[in-house]
């Protein structure tokens, strides 16, 4: 498991796909999550996403020592902020 990163996971659905990072995210963590890098039409930035539901991503991150420090909803998007101690 990668060792240092605060991460926000975003999802438009409870079942996936789940956005797990931006173009500056730790590549080793993105690899551990099985994330793929994409650029959505019309966006001027890249993002990493996985086809897993957020609960699956959160479970994977928990095995690496991450814990949820906050969660909120923004419209139909759910946002979890995690920290690794």
What are the tens digits of pLDDT across the range 45-71?
889 999 998 889 999 999 989 998 888
Task: Reply yes or no on whether the pLDDT at 6 is more than 60.
Answer: no
Distance of CA 33 to the CA centre of its chain: 8
Whether domain 4-84 has CATH 3.30.1410.10: yes
pTM above 0.75, yes or no: yes
Q: Are 52 and 16 in contact (CB under 8 A)?
A: yes
Q: Give 8 or 70, the one with higher predicted confidence.
A: 70
CA distance 9 to 3: 17
For residue 37, what pLDDT band results from cuts at 50, 70 and 90?
very high
């Amino acid at each position: 498991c990668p060792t240092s990163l605060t991460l926000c996971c975003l999802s438009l659905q409870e079942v996936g796909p789940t956005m797990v990072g931006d173009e500056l995210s730790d590549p080793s963590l993105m690899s551990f999550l099985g994330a793929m890098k994409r650029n959505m039409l019309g966006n001027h930035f890249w993002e990493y996403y996985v086809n897993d539901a957020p609960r699956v991503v959160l479970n994977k991150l928990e095995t690496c020592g991450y814990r949820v420090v906050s969660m909120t909803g923004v419209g139909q998007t759910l946002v979890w902020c995690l920290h690794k101690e």
